[in-house]
Amino acid sequence: MPSIPTNSESDIPDLTGKVIFVTGGTSGLGAQSVKTLAQHNPAHIYFSGRNATKAESLIQHLQENDRTKATTITFIPCDLSSLSSVQSAADKILAQESHLDILICNAGTMAVPAATTADGYEIQFATNHIGHALLIRRLIPLLTSAGSSEPTGRIVILSSMGYKMHPFAGINFPTLSTPQNCWGGPVGPWVRYGQSKLANVVYARELARRYPGLMTVSVHPGVVRTGLVDDLSWGKAAFIYLTTLGNMVTVEKGVRNQVWAATAPAQEMVNGGFYVPVGKLEEVDSKARDKELAGTLWEWTEEVIREYL
């Protein structure tokens, strides 16, 4: 049985020569991922976000730290709710790199009010799934360029145990071009959130099936005190605190599962698996295993992002 890591620092292997991209890296789990991975000698870490001021602060912090100053750190502006912004971010990576070893799809939004993006899609689904799907599809050539028969390039998609709050159908495709007010009241934002997190799990499994030369997994970081929680209304935040019964963890602990997934030996992992902290393979529900749903999600997503590929 594979060993289960207990410390995100001591369990991380040397990352010399590795090129890494972390979305949502200006704060929370994304910033902590950048800080943690930078201590293990990667050649280059790219990170994206919308806040250039926070990005500059993080870069300065890493450049002043003896353990991280040797790693090149580059900020890529990106709004995952905008397909053109994601396209531009991917273009920058493609122009600068010949290979990419690790892609951590960390950015996301949670339980926000009903709305659509400028592209016309439900905002949580657009940010948590569509934007990352476009980024992944654009960067797959870099992730698969190593030419090994074993999985080499690594994709880690942050999902959540909250995926289980998905609607009965799993994903309500006919209304994704609306704010999806069909789920009203206080549960609506959580149903939409669960739907987007289900998409993360399903898409990771489908990527593993279609691209077996990559290692693609989805992860639940635990219930982590980040800006996603702090930015909620008092009622939604109270729901989180009351339902987690004291199980909320710090960012330093919460980052361990995604860092493990990004760096653990491929032979210790199941391609397409869903992992809970730390490094524990979790059985997913019937909707997450639904092959028909996976096929529909793939085709629907391909149609949405086609002109940006």
Q: Which of the residues 193, 203, 211, 275 is marked catalytic?
A: 193
Q: Which of the residues 8, 81, 85, 159 is marked catalytic?
A: 159
35 is catalytic: no
d(C-alpha 100, C-alpha 153), whole Å: 7
Closest Cα to residue 45, out of 88, 93, 3, 8? 93
Contact in structure between 253 and 284 (CB atoms under 8 Å): no
308 is catalytic: no
Q: Which of the residues 197, 203, 218, 253 is marked catalytic?
A: 197
Contacts of 244 (CB under 8 A, 6+ apart): 223
46 is catalytic: no
- Indicate which residues carry an active-site annotation: 159, 193, 197
